[in-house]
């Protein structure tokens, strides 16, 4: 695909200009992104706010450009409001739980079910556009129990460093998320989500230790 300048870069992908209102999401290692694009199309067809996909070819997805701050940026900008803003994650997870997964989508290990899962729905992956929130980065999309997605987000919110202003208020905004998202339905899936997170090569040893401590405190016996 023809692309322009680099807009942003993450651990796995780069985002490049591709004309008015469009970008290309390109895998850094040449990984095929067509399944990810198909999951985004499926979510959008069923009313969930995923970016529009125009085309997909191997390591490239030609997609809608989404402009605006991330939910994380807004939480950092006004940490005293984080408890209110984080409730948006619970709303998005409830909406996604209403979407049945396509049969071709891989199953999430240890989480049997037929719901479409994002499995990385954290504040940095929610972009607050003029048209409402858009959920990006569907690389981990899978099929399974809706509670597994809540467990994944819970784990990320509880164990990923967010910076001093937010970390100091973590108890408050995490409680707000759990009040709306439903901790008890998610709790059985915490071990599977913890195993998955600890297997991620990008997770530091310190984070892994924090995940283990979190699991000891919060998972069912």
Distance CA 221, CA 216 (A): 9
Q: Give 10-residue mean pLDDT values along the chain (221 residues).
A: 85 92 94 96 98 97 96 96 96 98 96 97 97 96 98 96 91 96 95 94 91 91 63
What pLDDT shows up at residue 8?
87
What pLDDT shows up at residue 202?
85
Find the helix packing angle between 205-218 and 190-198, rounded to 10°. Answer: 170
What pLDDT shows up at residue 4?
85
Structural domains of the chain in order of their starting residue, each with its CATH number: 6-64 (3.30.200.20), 71-218 (1.10.510.10)
What pLDDT shows up at residue 10?
82
pTM of the entire predicted model = 0.95
What pLDDT shows up at residue 221?
63
Question: Considering only CA atoms, which of 53, 80, 94, 101 is closest in space to residue 179?
Answer: 94
What pLDDT shows up at residue 164?
86
């Amino acid at each position: 695909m023809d692309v322009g300048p680099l807009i942003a870069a993450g651990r796995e992908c780069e985002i490049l200009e591709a004309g008015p209102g469009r970008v290309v999401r390109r895998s850094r290692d040449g990984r095929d992104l067509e399944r990810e694009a198909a999951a985004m199309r499926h979510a959008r067809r069923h009313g969930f706010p995923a970016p529009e996909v125009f085309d997909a070819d191997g390591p490239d997805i030609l997609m809608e450009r989404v402009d605006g701050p991330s939910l994380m940026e807004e939480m950092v900008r006004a940490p005293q409001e984080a408890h209110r803003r984080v409730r948006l994650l619970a709303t998005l997870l409830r909406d996604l739980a209403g979407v049945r997964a396509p049969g071709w989508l891989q199953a999430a290990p240890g989480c049997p079910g037929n719901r479409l899962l994002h499995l990385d729905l954290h504040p940095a992956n929610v972009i607050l556009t003029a048209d409402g929130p858009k959920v990006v980065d569907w690389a981990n999309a899978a099929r399974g129990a809706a509670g597994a997605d809540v467990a994944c987000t819970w784990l990320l919110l509880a164990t990923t460093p967010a910076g001093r202003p937010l970390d100091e208020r973590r108890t408050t905004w995490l409680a707000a998320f759990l009040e709306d998202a439903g901790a008890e339905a998610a709790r059985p899936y915490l071990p599977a989500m913890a195993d998955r997170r600890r297997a991620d090569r990008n997770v530091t040893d310190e984070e892994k230790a924090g995940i283990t401590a979190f699991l000891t405190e919060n998972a069912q016996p």
